[in-house]
Chain A
Amino acid sequence: MNKPLNKMAVQATINGEDTAFLCSPGQVLAEVLRDELDLIGTKIGCNTGDCGACSVLVNDRLVCSCLVLAAEVEGQTVETIEGIARGGKLHPVQQKLLEHGGLQCGICTPGVVIAAKALLEHNPDPTEEQARYWLAGNLCRCTGYDKIIRAVLDAAKTMRGEAA
């Protein structure tokens, strides 16, 4: 009674590496990243695009990977939390989250890092309000967002080359 194997071969650049994987047509990107590619840093909190824990960048665009079909990334560039720290050096957002204590349980942290990185690429000098609205799609139940926002604005400062 097993259904015939109905898999698609997909090629994409994931965290800078040419990657090929098989997926079923209905499978979402979050699931493939986690279950096929062992990129478990992408978290699934809701599977409905409401919590932002599965945030990734597709061609530098911030998306919920639970709302993107895996087959859609054929030929595209995907960046996940595993690709953010490069050459053993943390991204300033990661570093500042650590310094400010901007995480408690940490389940939302990968999504927050991805979303904040995208923010600072679009807007290197966001106001507090702009940072809050940009990150409104990333639910955090632990921190009340205070230290997250402070960390993101501090990271922006560092990236602009200003003293903290």
Chain B
Amino acid sequence: MNAYQEFKVIGSRPVRPDGLDKVTGRARYGADLNMQGQIYGHVVRSPHAHAVIQSIDCSKALAMEGVLAVMTGDDLVKPGNEMLGGGEGAMALKDVVPMVMSQGKVLFHSQAVAAVAATSPELAAEAARAVEVVYEVLPAVTDVHKALADDAPILHDDRFPDGYPEEPTNLATHISLTVGDPDAAFEKADVVIEHTYSVPMCHQGYIEPHACVARVDPAGRVELWCCTQGHFTVRHYTSAVTGIDQGKIKVTASEIGGGFGGKTTVYLEPLAVVLAQKAGRPVKMVMDRGDVFRATGPAPGAETRVKLGAMRDGTLVAADVECLMDSGAYNGNPAGIPAFMATACYKLTDARSTGRSVYTNKPKIHAYRAPSIPQVTLGFELAITELAAELGMDPIDFRLMNAVEEGDANMMGAPYKRIGLRECLEVARNHPHYQSAVAEGAGRGVAMGYWINAGMQSSATINVSSDGHVAVLTGSPDIGGSRASMALMASEVLGIPFEHIHPQVAATDSVGHTDVTGGSRTTLATGQAVIQAAEQCVAEMCRRAASEWGVEAGVVTWSQGAAHHGENTLTFEQLARRAGGMGGPLTFSSSLTSTSTAPGFGVHICDAEVDKETGRTTITRYTAIQDAGKAIHPDYVEGQMQGGAVQGIGWALNEEYLYNADGVLENPGFLDYRIPVASDLPYIDTVIVEIPNPLHPFGVKGVGEVPIVPPMPAIAEAVYQSTGVRFRDLPLNPPKIVAGLASG
């Protein structure tokens, strides 16, 4: 049961508070701040994908006039087995440091090996070229199967995954789970299908490259400005990587130009700090677009084998899923999620799921919107569709027969509370899109998606000014409209106009610890902190009014932005104006670890038409339906659904990391790594299904990640329906379609 049942402003669509700055060019992003006296950092990157660094000589670079500092991996801490929390899941320090700068060994092309700082960007680039690095080049391996072969070059000779203690291997992780007796269940199944599906490595593709500027004062205190999904995480990681105490580091989050999980760690920030410390001048660093593609964490490619068993009546009885994921050069922990969550949309009492991840000579993978679930879902959902066809059933009817609802458990064990997957499927079945005839030559696909949604730590502070306006400070960088949702929630509780609320993203020294904007957690968890702080404000105002009127606080009510008792009324503004004489400044903070999270589900319907001559696929109609909990600001809920769907469309049709035999990325730019453009797409219709999350006071649940999950299997099915040829390996780009059609 939700604490709030009826809403006055929640669910409305006001203009976002930061909108004006963003449409007029005033908003300051990572590269938009310059500090007085700043110089410029430039990173020296490896031209080899696998090599031992024999020596680094920075003396010629340092001797150049205008070059004020040089550094190598020796200037960073030597990681042991420390674990860092705070990103999207725990990360080992030894997997973070080498993504900032290598120490002794290079494991992917363009890995940082040294950095310089000089008085101009051009001079810094020139000095970087003067750094002399001697490499012993080793053979590189970029394919997961080749990396597991007996004769593969081994990336880490000091890492032994659980169950493989004997000798080093490129296997990074291996997780296997079983519920019930899947083998016996397959025995009794009427129909069994088994196929293997694959999805390529891709990049989050945020438009803003990583950027930061750092200043270190003579006392060793660090000021850092950067674009990030979590400035507390930047402070923590920068401290861990440089050895500087967190207490000496202040991080201010700039506006952020997209992240999608990719900006939940550090790359340039510790380098700028070390260079600034050495040079005694602020250091600005901006990553080149090519280096964003070559040297920051992409999403893992994956191969998924799916075996499903069903009875003739349409009951799904058994599943066996095995997902092999590319971890890149270090451990990005991608294998657990497919193991735990592959089957999460289905009632299955007998199932086995396995996730393995493998080291290859590519950048360490990093979070990308619902990390690792889209890859395994391509396989699972497409197999479900193939099985429905085998049974002669409508794909939505088959899913409705087997979809999870309240009380069902997934592989993680705990039963679901109130969820809206079945409602989404029913909306899909009755939607005009699904009811319409498929156009001649086109095909239609349907798929579902799940994401667990994170809770984690958040803080908020409310400061009331004497005119009754309110500053709402949170530690959550606003990546897609969260200031608007924070202001709406504060306005709802306080009962004062949305325009009187001024939400701000506060620096690490000005608000309590807050984990990253990620895991679809911000509106849920940071929102919860805002709601609690606002409730404290209301309680205090009622207490003050009661004291003024000489009555018990418990008899004073709060409504429409005022305290009431009998004929007495004191408005928010009156209480704010008189704060000094009634108990002092009105300031309220709340910090929490949210345990209110609930999983999200979506159903997408896609119509696509394949040009049989050129192999080009056109998405002709697309509908996204999602169990979004209570939508605080529906524009930004729809926006998440549309944006996520389009990222999935890009991954399905075009996006792919292409490596050559030497482990060099061949398409490190937006020309050759082609993300969807406006003319590729139709409008993305959305239906928000509001099943309130019973654990959250406003019924909020995470929204942002689910929408990238269903598109790949929905599109792959639409392409099959359009062409009659089954494609199980993505992306479905024109050359692949043309070749597939030719071979039938």
A40 touches B23 (CB 8 A): no
Q: Which of B25, B258, B639 contacts A41 (CB 8 A)?
A: B25
Complex contact B646–A144 (CB within 8 A)? yes
CB-based contact B643/A48 at 8 Å: no
Instruction: Report whether A2 and B16 are in contact in the complex, using a CB–CB cutoff of 8 Å.
Output: no
**Per-residue contact bits, chain A 104-118, to B (CB 8 Å; 1 contact, 0 not):** 111111100100000
B678 to A141, Cβ gap below 8 A? no
Residue of B23, B258, B639 touching A107 (CB-CB under 8 A)? B258
Residue numbers in A under 8 Å from B638 (CB-CB): 101, 146-147
Chain B residue with Cβ nearest A137: B677
Query: Cβ of B16: which chain A residues have Cβ within 8 Å of it?
Result: 98, 101
A32 proximal to B (CB < 8 A):
no
Least CB separation from A101: chain B residue: B635
Q: What is the CA–CA distance of A51 and B673 in the complex, to the nearest angstrom?
A: 12
Q: Is B192 an interface residue when CB atoms closer than 8 A count as contact?
A: no
Chain B residues near A133: list those with CB within 8 A: 678-679
A106 touches B669 (CB 8 A): no
Residue in B22, B66, B675 whose Cβ sees the most chain A Cβ within 10 Å: B22
In the bound complex, CA of A80 to CA of B647 (Å): 29
- Give Cα A65 to B123, complex, Å: 23
CB distance from A102 to the nearest CB of B (A): 8
Residue among B123, B642, B647, B670 making CB contact with A48, cutoff 8 Å? B670
Chain A positions within 8 Å of B32 at CB level: 34, 40
Contact pattern, B 15-32, Cβ under 8 Å of A = 1, otherwise 0: 110111011111111011
A45 touches B207 (CB 8 A): yes
How far, in whole Å, are A12 and B259 apart by their CA atoms in the complex? 36
B256 within 8 Å of A (CB atoms): yes
Q: Mark A16-41, 1 if CB is under 8 A from B, else 0.
A: 00000000000000000011000111
Determine the interface band of chain B, counting residues with CB < 8 A from chain A: 35 or more
Smallest CB gap from B24: residue in A: A85
B13 near A: Cβ within 8 Å?
yes
- How far apart are the CA atoms of A109 and B683 in the complex, in Å? 19
* Contact, CB under 8 Å: A2 / B29: no
Contact of A94 among B24, B31, B642 (CB under 8 A): B24
Q: Given A132-B681, A148-B678, decide whether A101 and B481 contact each other with a Cβ distance below 8 A.
A: yes
- Docked CA distance A108–B676 (Å): 14
Please encode chain B, from 243 to 277, with 1 for each CB lying within 8 Å of some chain A CB and 0 for all others. Answer: 00000000000011111100000000000000000
Q: How far is the CA of A143 from the CA of B643 in the complex (A)?
A: 4
Instruction: Indicate whether A139 reaches chain B with its CB closer than 8 angstroms.
Output: yes
- Please, how many angstroms separate the alpha-carbon atoms of A147 and B642 in the complex? 9
- Which chain A residues border B680 with CB–CB below 8 Å? 136
A33-72 contact mask (Cβ, 8 Å, vs B): 1 or 0: 0110001111111111011010000000000000000000
Most buried by B among A39, A43, A94: A43
Known contacts A2-B66, A142-B639; A109/B289 CB under 8 A: no
Residues on A with beta carbons closer than 8 Å to the beta carbon of B26? 41, 82
Q: B683–A149 contact, CB under 8 A?
A: yes
Which residues of A68-126 have CB atoms within 8 Å of chain B's CB atoms? 80-82, 84-85, 90, 94, 97-101, 103-110, 113
CB pair B25 A82 closer than 8 Å: yes
Determine the distance from Cα of A98 to Cα of B633 in the docked complex, in whole angstroms.
13
Q: How far does the alpha carbon of A147 sit from the alpha carbon of B678 in the complex, in Å?
A: 11
Query: By the criterion CB–CB under 8 Å, are A105 and B257 in contact?
Result: yes
A106 (CB) vs chain B CBs: closest residue: B22
Point out the residues of chain A lying under 8 angstroms from B19, CB to CB. Answer: 97-98, 103
> Whole-angstrom distance between the alpha carbons of A13 and B59 in the complex?
45
Answer whether A81 and B66 are a contact pair too, CB < 8 Å, given A101-B635, A104-B636, A135-B678: no
B 312-356 binary contact with A (CB < 8 Å = 1; else 0): 000000000000000000000000000000000000000000000
Assembled-state Cα–Cα distance A136/B676 (Å)? 9
Q: Decide if A146 touches B65 in the complex (CB within 8 Å).
A: no
Verify if B363 is at the interface (C-beta below 8 Å from A): no
Asked if A103 and B22 make an inter-chain contact with CB atoms under 8 angstroms apart, the answer reads yes
Would A141 and B258 count as touching, CB distance under 8 A?
yes
Complex partner residue of B206 from A101, A132, A141, A145, CB under 8 angstroms: A141
Q: Contact residues of B with A, CB < 8 Å?
A: 13, 15-16, 18-20, 22-29, 31-32, 34, 64-66, 123, 204-209, 255-260, 288-289, 479-481, 633, 635-636, 638-640, 642-647, 669-671, 675-681, 683-684
A-B contact pairs, 13 of them (CB 8 A): A1-B64, A45-B289, A94-B24, A97-B19, A103-B23, A105-B255, A105-B258, A107-B257, A133-B679, A139-B207, A139-B677, A141-B206, A144-B639
5 closest pairs, A vs B, by CB?
A41-B25, A107-B257, A101-B635, A144-B646, A106-B22
- The interface of chain A, by Cβ under 8 A from chain B, is 1-2, 34-35, 39-48, 50-51, 53, 80-82, 84-85, 90, 94, 97-101, 103-110, 113, 128-129, 131-133, 135-150
Q: A98-B20, A101-B16, A150-B683 are in contact. List 20 more A-B contacts (CB 8 A).
A: A40-B28, A40-B32, A41-B24, A44-B209, A45-B207, A46-B289, A50-B669, A81-B25, A82-B24, A103-B22, A104-B481, A105-B255, A106-B22, A107-B29, A107-B258, A141-B204, A141-B206, A144-B644, A145-B681, A149-B678
